[in-house]
Structure 1
Amino acid sequence: MKSQSQKAADFAALHQSGCFVIPNPWDRGSALMLAGLGFKALTTTSAGYARSIGVTDYRAGRDHVLAHCRDLVDATDLPLAADLEDGFGPTPQDCAETIRQGAEAGLVGGSIEDWRADGTFYDIEAAADRIRAAAEAARSLSFPFQLVARCENYLRGRPDFADTVRRLQAYQEAGADVLYAPCLTTADEYTTLLREVDRPVNALGGIGNPPLTVSELAALGVRRISLGSLLHSAAVTAFLKAATDESFGFVAGLTSGGDLDQLLEKGSGS
C-alpha cells in the first residue's frame, strides 16, 4: 500500500496534469468498484454516505464521517479526498480541526463550504476566515493537502454569478488550492470563472440541459470533475425501480455477481 505522503503527491500531480474525473463512492464496496474501473482518485459524498446509513445530509456528524473516511482510505490504494461539509462547526477553529482530523484519518484533500446546515450563508469575510484557518491547518501537515473551497450559491438556489466569482476569489486569496461552485451549467460561466481565478477549478458533472461532457469541460480548462451524490442517487433510483417492478424485468439487465466480485477484487489489488 502507498503511504499517505505518496498518495498526496500523486493527488497533487493530478491537478497539474490536465482534467480528471474524481467520482464519489458512498461505502467500501462502491470505492473498490470505482478503483477497479481505473479511476485515479476518489472523493466522498456527504449526502450519499448519510443516506446510506439512514439519515439525511448533514446529520451524520464529524465522528461518523471521519470513521467512514478511514474505512475508504483502508479499502483502496487511491488518494482519497472528502466532502467535509461546513467544517462541522461555525468557527475558523472548527474548520482547522476538521482538516487536522481528516488528515489523521488518511485524507489527502477535502472541501469546506460557505453554507450552514441551517440554510444560511456565511458572509464573504467570515467564509474567507474559515478557509484561511483550514489552509493554515493544511499547510502545517507534512504532505500536500488539497483544500477545496466551495461556494454554494447555485446549489442552494442563489444563482448569483458575480457573488460566486467574488467569493471564490476571496477563498483563493485565503489559501484554497482548488475552487468549486457546484451547479454551474454553461460554458460561458466556466470560461468567465476560469479567467477570474488562478487555481484549479472543480466542476460538478452531469449538471445542465444538456450537461457539459468531460471533454467539453476539459477543453474549457476545468481541472477536475466530481459527481457529488449523483452516483448514489443513480444506484438508489435503480434499486427503487427494481423493488417495485412486479414483472421483474430488471433482472435481464443485471451485471452478474461474478463480474461484480471480479471488480471488487481488481479494486482491492487482489
Structure 2
Amino acid sequence: MVSRGTDRAETFRALHRGRPPGDPLVLPGPWDAASARVFVDAGFPALATPSAGVAASLGYEDGSTPAEEMFAAVARIVRAVDVPVSADVEDGYGLPPQELVERLLGTGAVGCNLEDSTRGVLKDPARHADWLAEVRAAAGDRLFVNARVDTFVCGEPDPERAIERAALYVAAGADCVYPIGAPVDVLPRLRAGIEGPVNVFARTGDAPLDEQLTELGERGATRVTFGPGLQRRTAQALGEIAAELRR
C-alpha cells in the first residue's frame, strides 16, 4: 500500500512535469499557518516554505533558527493546509541523512531545499553530492529533493560552475536544482545544461509579478519560488498600516 506521505510526494513531483515554456510552477512561501491558508485559498496547488521568512516570523535572523523550531514551524504550516508543502531546511542543520529525513517526514513535508554552502562558503561538490545521495537513499520516493546551488550568491558568477554542481546533484538523486541568485540572462544556458527541473528565484520588488513569472518560465524556469520576499512585502504593508494608526 502507498502511504499518504508517498502519495502526496508523488502529487508534488507530478506538478513539475510537462510544464510548457512560460508556465512555471509557482510556489508561494508561507512563513506561518495563517499565510499558508491565504495562499491555498487563492488556489495554489502546493507551497514551499522559506527558511528566512520562517526565521523572521520566529524572531530570528536568517540562518539562526534552531532546528527544533524550524521543524515545528513547518509542521504547523503543513497541519494548516491540505496541499503538499516543501520545506527549506537550509543545509540540514548538521543532521545525519537518516535523521534529517525522519525529522522532515515527521513534519508532514513532501519535499525539501538543501543548500550546498554554509555561512557563505561553498561545500565541496563531490562530498555534498555523496551526502545528497544518502538523503535520497533514506527518503526513497517520500521526499522531493530540491538541491540548491549557491555559486552565484557565493561569488562564482560563471554558469558552468553551477552546471557542474547541478550534474553531480542530479546524479545523486536530486529531483530539482535551484541555482539561487542566477541572473535572468544566464537562465537559458542553465536550462540547456541542467537535466531535469530548474527552480528560479523571483524578486518581488522588481517588475510586475505576472510578467516576471512568464519571463522566467520562458527563459527556463520549471518552478519559481520567492525566498522571504512575500513575508517581507507583507511586513512592509503591515508597517504602512501601523504608521497610519499612529497618525
The sequence identity of aligned pairs, in percent, is 30
| Greater mean alpha carbon deviation, residues 193-202 or residues 217-226 | 217-226
Q: By how many angstroms is 1:50 displaced?
A: 0.7
SS at match of 1:55: coil
1:75 counterpart (63, 77, 80): 80
Q: Show the counterpart of 1:85.
A: 90
- Cα–Cα, structure 1 residues 171 and 44, in superposed 2: closer, same or farther, change >3 Å? same
Does 44-53 or 206-215 show the bigger shift? Answer: 206-215
TM-score (norm 2): 0.88
**Which 4+ runs in 1 deviate beyond 6 A?**
none
In structure 2, the gaps of 5 or more residues are none
What SS class does the counterpart of residue 117 from structure 2 fall into? coil
**Which of 171, 174, 194 is residue 172 of structure 2 equivalent to?**
174
1:195-240, Cα deviation, whole Å (9 max, x unpaired): 1121100111127965872122222332111111000110112223
Partner-residue secondary structure (3-state), 2:215: helix
Q: 1:159 to 1:73 in 2, by over 3 A?
A: same
The CA RMSD measured in Å over matched residues stands at 2.2
User: Alignment partner of 1:110: what SS?
Assistant: strand
Q: Quote the residue 1:261 is aligned against.
A: none
Distance apart, 1:160 and its partner CA: 3.3
One of 198, 203, 206 as aligned partner of 1:206:
203
Question: Secondary structure, in 3 states, of the residue corresponding to 1:97?
Answer: helix
Residues paired across the two proteins, number: 239
Describe the superposition over 1:91-114 as per-residue Cα deviations: whole angstroms up to 9, x where unpaired: xx6244212210122111001101
Task: Give me the whole-angstrom Cα distance separating, in 1, the residues matched to 2:205 and 2:243.
Answer: 29
- Measure, in 2, the Cα distance between the counterparts of 1:99 and 1:193: 29
The Cα offsets for residues 167-199 of structure 1, whole Å up to 9 and x where unpaired, read as 111111111110001111224x11111111211
Residue 124 of structure 1, CA deviation: 1.5
The answer to whether residue 227 in structure 2 is matched with residue 228 in structure 1 is yes
Partner residue in 1 for 2:146:
148
SS in 2 for 1:40: coil
> How many angstroms does 1:246 deviate by?
7.2
Residues 235 and 207 of structure 1, relative CA distance in 2, 3 Å threshold: closer
Q: Which residue of 2 aligns with 1:35?
A: 40
Given the superposition, is the C-alpha separation of residues 232 and 164 from structure 1 closer, same or farther in structure 2, using an over 3 Å criterion? same
Cα deviations by residue, 1:134-171 (Å, 9 ceiling, x for unpaired):
121221xxx44210110112234443322111111111
Are 1:138 and 1:147, in contact at CA under 8 Å, matched by a contact in 2? no
Question: Which structure has the larger Rg?
Answer: 1
SS in 1 for 2:199: strand
Aligned partner letter, 1:12: R
Match of 1:186 among 178, 184, 187: 184
Q: C-alpha separation between the residues in 2 aligned to 1:26 and 1:158? A: 30
Distance in structure 2 (CA, Å) of the matches to 1:109 and 1:246: 40
One-letter identity of the residue aligned with 1:241 = E
Q: Structure 2 CA distance, aligned partners of 1:45 and 1:95?
A: 21
- Note if 1:26 corresponds to 2:20: no
| 8 A contact 2:184–2:219 mirrored in 1 | no
Q: Which residue, 66, 75, 97 being the options, matches 2:71?
A: 66
Quick check: 2:13–2:144 contact (8 Å CA) kept in 1?
A: yes
CA distance in 2, matches of 1:194, 1:28: 34
TM-score, length-scaled by structure 1? 0.81
- SS of alignment partner, residue 153 of structure 2: coil
Q: Distance in 2 between matches of 1:72 and 1:10?
A: 18
Distance in 1 between residues matched to 2:5 and 2:59, nearest whole Å: 31
Matched AA of 1:97: E
CA distance in 2, matches of 1:96, 1:17: 31
